[in-house]
């Protein structure tokens, strides 16, 4: 199958079942007709977070607190714990966000794991309320000054071009 194919819960549960029966990643991938990488991710989730989380994959994203992220990342980076062990210990369902947290922590430190404010920053939209006559006139003056500067520049460029063509020797 190609790209980011979506699989139903039954496929994920069947992969876990085959794993419990002793089948390896390659065998499970061949039996279910999917990539070995997908099976690897599913089995990692299954081993670290359990069958319930594996069944919920693709439905709801869990929001983790700053403290949980920091503790999990420090367990791997500072204490030498493996990623699957840390995911199991801290209840992290997916390896994707965990890898992003590790990268952010290594590059920018603990503050990179803090939640970022969402949406447009205050004051970045159009000015609230009605504009006064004075503000309206100031805006109009700025626009006209810009237009005037543009026209002056255009005239100067055209004059320069004419003078260059007039100076050229004719053959």
Its domain, for residue 44, covers 9-56
CA 118 – CA 80 distance, rounded (Å):
33
Residue 151 within any structural domain of the chain: no
Within this chain, do residues 47 and 85 fall inside the same structural domain, yes or no? no
* pLDDT (0 to 100) of residue 120: 80
Under 8 Å CB-to-CB from 133, ≥6 apart: which residues?
none
* pLDDT (0 to 100) of residue 84: 85
Residue 26 within any structural domain of the chain: yes
Residue 121 within any structural domain of the chain: no
Within this chain, do residues 71 and 50 fall inside the same structural domain, yes or no? no
In this model, does residue 127 exceed pLDDT 70? no
* pLDDT (0 to 100) of residue 53: 74
* pLDDT (0 to 100) of residue 1: 41
Tell me the Cα Rg of the chain: 31
Within this chain, do residues 71 and 52 fall inside the same structural domain, yes or no? no
Residue 48 within any structural domain of the chain: yes
Residue 148 within any structural domain of the chain: no
Residue 171 within any structural domain of the chain: no
Domain count across the chain? 2
* Residues 64-100 pLDDT 10s: 889 999 999 999 999 999 888 888 888 887 788 889 9
Mean pLDDT, rounded, for 130-143: 91
DSSP state of 126: S
| Averaged confidence pLDDT in the chain | 85
Q: How many CA atoms lie within 13 A of 144 on its CB side?
A: 6
Residue 49 within any structural domain of the chain: yes
Residue (of 124, 105, 126) closest to 114 by Cα position: 105
Contact 106, 66 (CB under 8 A): no
In this model, does residue 34 exceed pLDDT 60? yes
DSSP state of 7: -
In this model, does residue 116 exceed pLDDT 70? yes
CB atoms within 10 A of CB 110: 13
Give the pTM: 0.45
Residue 30 within any structural domain of the chain: yes
If DSSP codes are grouped into helix, strand and coil, which group holds residue 140? Answer: helix
């Amino acid at each position: 199958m190609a790209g980011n194919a979506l699989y139903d819960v039954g496929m994920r549960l069947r992969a876990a079942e085959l794993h419990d029966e002793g089948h390896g990643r390659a065998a499970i991938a061949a039996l279910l007709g999917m990539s070995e990488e997908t099976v690897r991710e599913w089995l990692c989730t299954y081993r670290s977070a359990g069958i319930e989380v594996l069944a919920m994959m693709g439905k709801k994203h869990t929001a983790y607190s700053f403290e949980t992220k920091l503790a999990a990342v420090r367990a791997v980076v500072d204490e030498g714990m493996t990623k699957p062990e840390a995911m199991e210990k801290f209840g992290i369902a997916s390896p994707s966000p965990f890898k992003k947290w590790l990268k952010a922590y290594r590059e920018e430190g603990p503050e990179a794991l803090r939640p970022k404010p969402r949406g447009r920053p205050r004051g970045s939209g159009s000015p609230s309320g009605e504009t006064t006559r004075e503000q309206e006139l100031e805006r109009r003056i700025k626009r006209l000054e810009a237009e005037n500067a543009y026209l002056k520049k255009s005239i100067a460029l055209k004059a320069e071009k004419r003078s260059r063509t007039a100076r050229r020797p004719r053959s």
